[in-house]
Amino acid sequence: MKAGRAGAAADAVERARQILGRARSIVVLTGAGISAESGVPTFRGPEGLWKDHRPEELATPEAFARDPRLVWEWYGWRQDVVRRCAPNAAHRALARRALAAGAAPLTLVTQNVDGLHAAAARQVGRELGEEPATALPLELHGSLFRVRCSGCGRRREHDGPVDASSRQSLPRCEGCGELLRPDVVWFGEPLPRRELEESFAAASAADACLVVGTSGVVYPAAGVVTAAAASGAEVVEVNPRETALSATAGVSVRAGAAEAVPRLFG
């Protein structure tokens, strides 16, 4: 008898559970898709547009040099969207697994800038009475809730609203007086070195790699998965659609993250 779609999906979940269950070290790479069910828009859908601008036009150092007010207005809108969102069952399941006593180590690497993995780590940590530290992600592309000075490079947390009504009202560095910018990695910019090194070290040590909600076309982030595979890790993908990493994955669970990820570790 031929298995139907539901049967095939259940079979993929079971194989993924086995791979993750027997792993001695796990690396996880997440992308915008893991936050889709929290209400955070992905870039590559129609909802990625803002006032007719595509993210590729605004998330660049050139755009900030040309029109910092417009770029800050867009980031203010994105911060507002994300502040209204909460971690979903997928973020929480990963945090719970990362904090589980006695479980194999899990390194969480994210391309997301929405802070929802960290929020889940704090939530679950509180529930378990554990420090959230081991469930905090390596944020390869920075965070919407930090700023960096465009002059001297100093960084700090920043969760308040930004007045983007004029160039004069934009936030400036307390040290050197230059404009502050969001502490996110823009197109054409290098990734933060510590996060990159720790991610690739975790990838080469892992014997299982879980990749959730990423199209797998943005490098070097997607290289975490290919590096893990090259060092012998079994790769599991969770994504409703086929991606550039599907060919590398031994198992693809074709479902949304909030439904599928909790079943992988339950």
Q: Which residues are catalytic?
A: 141
Kindly state the smallest distance separating residue 30's Cβ from ligand NAD, in Å: 8
Count other C-beta atoms under 10 Å from residue 197's C-beta: 12
Q: Which of 119, 112, 177, 157 is nearest to 139 (CA)?
A: 112
Query: How far is it, in rounded angstroms, from Cα 107 to Cα 263?
Result: 19
Q: Which residue from 16, 19, 113, 225 is in contact with ligand NAD, where contact means CB under 6 A?
A: 113
Q: Which residues, in sequence order, are CB contacts of 92 under 8 Å at separation 6+?
A: 120, 123, 124, 262
Among 36, 94, 208, 249, binds ligand NAD (CB under 6 A): 36
- Name the segment binding ligand NAD (CB under 6 A); options: 3-11, 21-29, 38-46, 151-159: 38-46
Residue 100 to residue 104: CA distance in whole angstroms: 9
Which residue from 12, 40, 106, 118 is in contact with ligand NAD, where contact means CB under 6 A?
40
Judged by beta carbon distances under 5 to 8 A according to partner kind, the member of Zn ion, ligand NAD, none in contact with residue 33 is: ligand NAD
The amino acid that residue 214 corresponds to is: T
CA 224 to chain centre: 13
CA dihedral over 134, 135, 138, 142, signed as positive or negative: negative
Q: Which does 32 bind (CB under 5 to 8 A by kind): ligand NAD, Zn ion, none?
A: ligand NAD
Whose Cβ is closer to ligand NAD: residue 42's or residue 248's?
A: 42
Q: Which residues are within 8 A (CB) of 11 and not within 5 positions of it... i.e. 6 or more apart?
A: 3
Report what 51 binds from ligand NAD, Zn ion, none; CB cut-off 5-8 Å by kind.
none
Distance (Å, rounded) from C-alpha 6 to C-alpha 178? 56
Q: Which residues bind Zn ion (CB under 5 A)?
A: 149, 151-152, 173, 175-176, 178
Q: Are the CB atoms for 12 and 251 separated by under 8 Å?
A: yes
**Using CB under 6 A, which of 28, 99, 179, 218 touches ligand NAD?**
218
The yes or no reply on residue 226 touching ligand NAD (CB under 6 A) is no
Among 25, 79, 107, 112, binds ligand NAD (CB under 6 A): 112
Find the part of the chain contacting ligand NAD (CB under 6 A) among 64-72, 118-126, 197-205, 212-220: 212-220
Residue numbers of the site for ligand NAD (CB under 6 A)? 31-37, 40, 42-44, 111-114, 141, 213-215, 218, 238-241, 243, 256-257
